[in-house]
């Protein structure tokens, strides 16, 4: 996720492939009903930081559960229209990773700090005996690391458009230090700068508009908890710009994925740049028992491009693992 260009992601000639008139701006009924579904906003302290998450469903301790983990710079609301599509059978949560959304910022971040947040929320959010974690993009990476530490207690992992590779490509380690996020004078100006990263068009403009507005926080002069006090007032992005400074991904992804104690699967957008023959062949050779599947009509941001198909893909894996007994649930 990046935010330094106007919200004209559909008019950039380098990326536009959807005519403006085909972009859906009004919120359809299913979307409005999903956002109106009952939910709770909860917090859990993990390694000294308050981690925020959203929770849908009921209090049945044997009901299977799903935890959604967002990508780089995103937040739990990316799944607020997905979760209600699954609550007829499952309890569902979506979390804000540390340094993002409404969770606390840390003085430093590691892949293990993110993994512990995921594991602790998954096991404490009332998501059944063995919850399933679904991580998108960067969230897929830290979900995989959570699997290293918690897979014996989990019902499964779904990595959504995150590719297990060998050798691993470090995303952040050698980058220059990141600058503080820009502060805009008002909410509307800031929201207009929202864009997806990697840059792509999205026919569901109403979803992009929704998550963009929820990606902002107000800043007052002298405020900026944990960082240099702001000399400006206005609006900026919720994520901690210093979060990825020196963050190491590690070179053990293949070993972790192959040796997980719980089932796992990888989901791609069929039109994503990460869905390539070499990556698919590597995954299938590495762990032939772990499904690899794609969602037609979706690019990297699968849940934005094809929300119902994304939810159905998750539900299909849940049903398979439940039938296999992987979720540790009582038969119903």
For residues 18-25, give the mean pLDDT: 81
Per-residue pLDDT tens for 109-137?
Answer: 999 999 999 999 999 999 999 999 999 99
Q: How confident is the model at residue 3 (pLDDT cuts 50, 70, 90)?
A: very low
Half-sphere exposure of 175 (CA within 13 A, CB side): 17
For residues 230-257, give the mean pLDDT: 93
Per-residue pLDDT tens for 253-290?
Answer: 999 999 999 999 999 999 999 999 999 999 999 999 99
What is the per-residue pLDDT for 149?
A: 98
Q: Which long-range contacts (CB under 8 A, 24 or more apart) does 99-102 make?
A: 99/239, 99/240, 99/243, 100/70, 100/73, 100/74, 100/75, 100/238, 100/239, 100/240, 100/243, 101/52, 101/70, 101/74, 101/75, 101/76, 101/77, 101/238, 101/239, 102/52, 102/75, 102/76, 102/238
The correct answer on CATH 2.40.128.630 for the domain covering 20-324 is no
**Which residues, 6+ apart, have CB-to-CB distance to 18 below 8 Å?**
10, 201, 202, 203
What is the per-residue pLDDT for 226?
A: 59
Sorted by where each begins, the domain ranges of the chain are 20-324
Q: What angle do CA 125, 129, 132 make, to 5 degrees?
A: 70
Query: Is the pLDDT assigned to residue 46 strictly greater than 90?
Result: yes
Angle between helix 138-150 and helix 111-124 axes, rounded to 10 deg: 70
What is the per-residue pLDDT for 2?
A: 40
């Amino acid at each position: 996720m990046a935010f330094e260009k106007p919200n004209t992601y559909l008019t950039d000639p380098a990326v536009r492939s959807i005519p403006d008139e085909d972009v859906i701006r009004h919120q359809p009924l299913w979307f409005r009903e999903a956002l109106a579904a009952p939910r709770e906003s909860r917090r859990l302290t993990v390694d000294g930081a308050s981690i925020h998450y959203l929770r849908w469903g009921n209090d049945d301790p044997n009901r299977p559960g799903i935890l959604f983990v967002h990508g780089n710079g995103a937040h739990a609301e990316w799944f607020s229209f997905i979760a209600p599509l699954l609550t007829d059978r499952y309890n569902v949560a979506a979390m804000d990773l540390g340094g993002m959304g409404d969770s606390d910022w840390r003085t430093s971040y590691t892949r293990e700090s993110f993994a512990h947040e995921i594991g602790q929320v998954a096991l404490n959010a009332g998501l059944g005996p063995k919850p399933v974690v679904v991580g998108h993009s960067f969230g897929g990476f830290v979900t995989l690391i959570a699997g290293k530490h918690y897979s014996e207690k989990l019902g499964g992992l779904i990595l959504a458009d995150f590719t297990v590779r060998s050798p691993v490509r470090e995303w952040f380690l050698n980058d220059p230090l990141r600058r503080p996020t820009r502060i805009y004078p008002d909410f509307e100006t800031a929201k207009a700068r929202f864009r997806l990263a990697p840059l792509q068009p999205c026919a569901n403009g109403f979803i992009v508009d929704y998550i963009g507005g929820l990606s902002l926080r107000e800043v007052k002069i002298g405020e900026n908890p944990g960082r240099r006090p702001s000399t400006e007032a206005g609006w900026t992005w919720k994520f901690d710009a210093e979060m990825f400074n020196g963050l190491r991904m590690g070179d053990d992804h293949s070993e972790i994925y192959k040796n997980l104690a719980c089932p796992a699967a990888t989901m791609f957008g069929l039109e994503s740049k990460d869905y390539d023959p070499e990556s698919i062949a590597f995954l299938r050779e590495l762990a032939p028992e772990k499904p690899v599947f794609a969602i037609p009509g979706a690019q990297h941001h699968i849940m934005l491009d094809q929300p119902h198909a994304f939810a159905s893909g998750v539900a299909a894996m849940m049903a398979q693992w439940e039938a296999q007994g992987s979720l540790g649930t009582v038969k119903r």
